[in-house]
Amino acid sequence: MRLTEITYDNAKPIDGYGPGFFRIGGKVIEGAVTVMPSGIASWGGYDDTAALLAMADKVDVIFVGTGAEIAHPPAAFRETLEAAGLGVETMASPAACRTYNVLLSEGRRVALALFPV
């Protein structure tokens, strides 16, 4: 069996998560967070779209992790991002982390906006 080491260039993979935190690129971040090509930052939730909109020309899709369970984000949030040309995929935060890591390893243009589990 041939094993291939995954490289992420400058992007940071999600290493783990737990109650109230994420471990990203070896660093523990508490609370809601965005993970984008420009870096990792605290996220103010659905009303905080400025940083996400700034990524419109750098990413194709933003995975929105809604916490431990999947939930629908407010329609205005989705509509604002989609109007800027961003794809929005909503799922539970653990699934969003896994999906992000897989697509990141493929060199895809992806970002995350996560609520903790």
Q: Using pLDDT thresholds of 50, 70 and 90, give the confidence band for residue 111.
A: very high
For residue 57, tell me if it sits in a domain: yes
Does an H or E element contain 105, and which? Answer: helix 93-105
Maximum Cα interatomic distance, the chain, rounded to a whole number of Å = 48
- Report if residue 23 sits inside a domain: yes
Give me the DSSP letters along 38-103: TEEEE---TT--HHHHTTTTT-SEEEEE-SSS--PPPHHHHHHHHHTT-EEEEE-HHHHHHHHHHH
Q: Report yes or no on 9 lying in a domain.
A: no
Verdict on whether the full-model pTM lies above 0.95: no
Domain hosting 26: range is 14-114
**Total tally of structural domains belonging to the chain:** 1
* Digit-coded pLDDT (tens) for 59-103: 999 999 999 999 999 999 999 999 999 999 999 999 999 999 999
| CATH code of the domain covering residue 61 | 3.40.1230.10
Please give the pLDDT value at position 62.
97
End-to-end Cα distance, the chain? 35
pLDDT tens digits for range 18-63: 999 999 988 999 999 999 988 999 999 999 999 999 999 999 999 9
